């Protein structure tokens, strides 16, 4: 069986990294929206930022997850939740457990086969300079119990970026666009802030268009 490739759109990749950049001393998380692509692929078309304050606040996480799932379904086109992303509070913390694993389990329960992507804060500086995505792919083996998330073997699954995500991230960060990103926590503080980020999405789409 060929490895499953999760291909991140420019919008999805830039938004999930900007979320981590906006809150460098906080744990952040969100979900990935996409669809199956071909025999062994998943097209990740968007990232929906959820939390940055306290991932352990279960009601907030549950409400955010419900809203994100409903948004994906209403978008049509076969879109659904296909994964969860997370960045730990401490740069040297490469673990994936506790609240992170529990929220990922909830996504997996809604969408069997969903993945998790762990953002590596130590690799962010290279990423915003146009380097490789600072992401580690995690999967849950069929039949594995709750919380049993493990790094995906290369022969099993991989991450790829479509288009010009790396360049767009570098430009967005240079322009301070992480300040524009809104997550569900922000929306709870001020309902006028839209966690779907309709103002940021076109900025990402236009970023780096004038580059050679």
pLDDT digits (tens, 9 = 90+) for 161-205: 988 999 999 999 999 999 999 999 999 999 999 999 999 999 999
Extract the tokens encoding 106.
């909830």
pLDDT at 210: 65
Mean of the pLDDT values across residues 15-44?
93
Average pLDDT, the chain: 92
The pLDDT of 115-121, averaged and rounded, is 95
* pLDDT for the residue 211: 61
pLDDT at 40 over 80: no
Task: Give start and end residues of each alpha helix (H) in 121-199.
Answer: 124-127, 165-174, 184-189
State mean pLDDT over 86-109.
92
**How much is the pLDDT for 57?**
61
More confident call, 84 vs 209: 84
Give residue 209's pLDDT band: very low, low, confident or very high (50, 70, 90).
confident
E-strand ranges in 28-127 read 28-36, 41-51, 80-87, 115-119
pLDDT at 133 over 60: yes
Backbone phi and psi for residue 119, each to the nearest 5 degrees, phi listed first: -80, 130
pTM of the predicted structure, to 2 decimals: 0.94
Residue 81, number of CB atoms within 10 A of its CB: 22
What pLDDT score does 181 carry?
98
Q: Which residue has the tokens 């506790």?
A: 98
Does the pLDDT of residue 75 top 80, yes or no? yes
Span 34-42, average pLDDT? 86
Q: Are strands 41-51 and 28-36 parallel, antiparallel or unpaired?
A: antiparallel
Phi-psi region of 80 (alpha: psi -120 to 50; beta: other; left: phi over 0): beta
CA 96 to chain centre: 14
Q: Is the pLDDT of residue 121 over 90?
A: no
- The maximal CA–CA distance of the chain, rounded, in angstroms, is 48
pLDDT of residue 194: 97
The bridge status of strand 28-36 relative to strand 80-87 is antiparallel
**Would you state the pLDDT for residue 90?**
86
Rg (CA), the chain: 16
Average pLDDT for 84-100: 92
Contacts 24+ apart (CB under 8 A), 192-198: 195/48, 195/49, 195/50, 195/64, 195/67, 196/48, 196/71, 197/15, 197/49
90 SS3 class: coil
């Amino acid at each position: 069986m060929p490895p499953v490739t999760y291909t991140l759109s420019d919008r999805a990749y830039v938004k999930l990294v900007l979320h981590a950049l906006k809150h460098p001393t906080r744990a952040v998380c969100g979900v990935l929206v996409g669809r199956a692509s071909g025999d062994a692929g998943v097209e990740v078309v968007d990232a929906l930022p959820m939390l940055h304050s306290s991932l352990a606040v279960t009601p907030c996480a549950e409400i955010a997850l419900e809203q994100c799932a409903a948004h994906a379904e209403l978008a049509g086109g076969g879109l659904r939740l296909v994964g969860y992303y997370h960045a730990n509070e401490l740069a040297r913390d490469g673990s994936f457990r506790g609240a992170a694993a529990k929220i990922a389990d909830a996504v997996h329960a809604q969408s069997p086969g969903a993945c998790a992507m762990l953002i590596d804060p130590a690799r962010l500086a290279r990423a915003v300079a146009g380097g490789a995505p600072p992401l580690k792919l995690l999967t849950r083996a069929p039949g594995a119990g709750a919380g049993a998330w493990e790094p995906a073997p290369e022969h099993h699954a991989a991450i790829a970026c479509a288009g010009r995500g790396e360049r767009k991230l570098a430009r967005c960060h240079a322009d301070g666009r992480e300040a524009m990103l809104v997550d569900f926590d922000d929306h709870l503080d001020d309902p006028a802030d839209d966690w779907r980020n309709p103002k940021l999405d076109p900025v990402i789409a236009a970023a780096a268009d004038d580059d050679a």
